[in-house]
Copies of this chain bind each other. A is one copy, B any other.
Amino acid sequence: MGIGKAGLKKSGEPDILVILLPQSCNASFLFTSNHFKSASVLYSEKVLAETDRIRAMVINSGNANCGVGQEGIMHAEMMAREVAKHLDIDHKEVLVFSTGVIGKPLPIEDVLKGITSACKILEPLDLKRASQVISTTDRFPKYDFVKKGKLEVFGFAKGAGMIHPNMATMLSFVFTNADIDSLTLTELHKEITEKTFNSITVDACTSTNDSFGLISLGVLKEDMQNIRQAIGEVSLNLAKKIVEDGEGATKIIKVIVKNASLSIKAKAIAEKVATSNLVKTAIFGKDPNWGRIVAAAGSTPFPIDQFKMKVYIGNHLVYDGKAHPKATEGAKKYLEENKEIEIIIDLREGKENWIYYSSDLTYDYVRINSEYTT
């Protein structure tokens, strides 16, 4: 990796990261479902429409290269070409990512200079440092590493707000030394994303720039089940770190919907509870307010049976077809004493489960998002 400065961060810290892979690698990328996409996302999508093998990536933080008209796409291409020129590789195998403020044109001369210096000194990948360079409002770097026998999976990410399914101002890159063919990689990537980055929320707002890449370095033949597990583990850990760093968050909320008739129903209900402002403020207030939980659970298109379902806060059964007032005190104590809060909704109608991660809604969330000025 190479690190450079384009002066995009007010702190003056490095804001350009170049990652050179050892050779062209099979890679699968998923981007934001937002229709208002960053020009860098539009450019990288175009690159990936032509190839599923990539050689390098360039990431700038401090500027989203978004909402700046067609010029932004030109800037992204200039960034890819600059990397290719210095590293003597094909620019059609270089992806571009950006994160930061929306609506300000990139100071492209400075960015190209930053890329030039980043390409001059290439060091081995340092996950922590890589996360720091691409971070914006993050309070801590996000990276994870799993080694099982010879199998290695490692990744780094950034993100602290605008985090919602279908991803949000979240960048995440996961690598494995396992050799995975392109089609399998794509399927595996989608499957893992659903259970990890598409099952977290901070403020239910999707961003213009989210990207999650999975890259196979292609050197190790390994059992698929092991690969799936290791990549799933690293991806979930990165996703949870983003929730933990949610803007203003004091608690992580783990919403578990159990025994639903359909997997999509379990997910829809878990998502609704995890994104409910009323649930999120109640958890912040350490209030075992199951009324808000059941009201959120009931507000998806899927019917629920209110006389059959159960709700637990931690292991306190607070609702069982009707209120359990005696459990309230224990649940309140649980909320006061724990940082990771489990809410379990047992629909008692089938066998499908889903887990969704969220953070609480606090004064600091309002402060961070109302005092920020464009």
- A→B interface (CB under 8 Å): 33-37, 64, 66-71, 101-104, 161-163, 165-166, 168, 203-208, 276-278, 281-282, 284-285, 287-292, 294-300, 302-304, 306-307, 319, 321-323, 325, 328, 361-363, 365-367, 369-374
Contacts and interface: CB of A to CB of B under 8 A. Distances in A.
Contacts of A71: 322
Given A34-B299, A205-B299, A363-B367, 10 more contacts: A36-B294, A69-B322, A71-B322, A101-B291, A102-B294, A162-B295, A206-B298, A206-B299, A208-B298, A277-B369
B205 A374 contact: no
Given A67-B319, A302-B35, A306-B36, A284 B374 contact: no
Given A276-B205, A298-B37, A302-B35, A370 B287 contact: yes
Contacts of A363: 363, 366-367
Contacts of A300: 35
22 contacts: A34-B299, A35-B300, A36-B295, A67-B319, A67-B323, A68-B322, A69-B307, A70-B307, A102-B292, A103-B290, A103-B322, A103-B325, A104-B323, A165-B289, A205-B276, A206-B295, A208-B291, A291-B374, A328-B374, A361-B370, A362-B370, A365-B366
A14 to B, nearest CB: 24
B299 A33 contact: yes
Contacts of A307: 69-70
Contact of A282 (B69, B362, B370): B370
Contacts of A302: 35
A67 B203 contact: no
What is the predominant secondary structure among interface residues of chain A facing chain B?
loop
Contacts of A166: 289, 291-292, 299
Contact of A277 (B67, B69, B204): B204
A132 to B, nearest CB: 24
A162 B34 contact: no
A124 to B, nearest CB: 36
Contacts of A285: 369-373
Of A162, A208, A292, the most chain B CB neighbours within 10 A belong to A292
A277 B374 contact: no
A369 B152 CA distance: 45
A332 B161 CA distance: 23
Contacts of A64: 291
Contact of A295 (B208, B295, B321): B208
A91 to B, nearest CB: 24
B366 A205 contact: no
A366 B177 CA distance: 46
A205 B277 contact: yes
Contact of A366 (B163, B287, B289, B362): B362
A295 B103 contact: no
B103 A278 contact: no
B287 A372 contact: yes
A84 B295 CA distance: 31
Contacts of A34: 295, 298-299
Contacts of A303: 35
B205 A35 contact: no
A84 to B, nearest CB: 27
